[in-house]
Amino acid sequence: MVFADKELTCVDCGAGFVFSAAEQFFYATKQFTNLPKHCKVCKAKRNRAFRKPVLHETQTTCADCGLETTVPFTPRQNRPVLCSACFHRQKVAS
């Protein structure tokens, strides 16, 4: 099958974009049947909108050195929480 560049129109912003022969070959190998509907800028915006939200950060005290630190989780079960420096130091020592 021979592929040639195609000019398509973005459904979001109405801008024209090129659906290259290489992209068409990729679509054919993956057996995609629909043409792309979004330009690269709008596709990037859509991808950012569907990303997972940032995890909840909790202020806590390091169990090893006693410094205030922020961790991307909620500490549970009275387990010790370490700052990143103490965590890496403990990891290297193991």
HSE value, Cβ hemisphere, 13 Å, CA-based, for 84? 4
How high is the mean pLDDT in each 10-residue block of the chain (94 residues)? 93 96 96 95 89 79 92 86 90 80
Question: Model pTM greater than 0.75?
Answer: no
Whether residue 56 contacts residue 38, with contact meaning beta carbons closer than 8 Å, is answered with no
Instruction: Give the pLDDT confidence score for residue 56 in this predicted structure.
Output: 80
Question: The tokens of 57 are what?
Answer: 């950060």
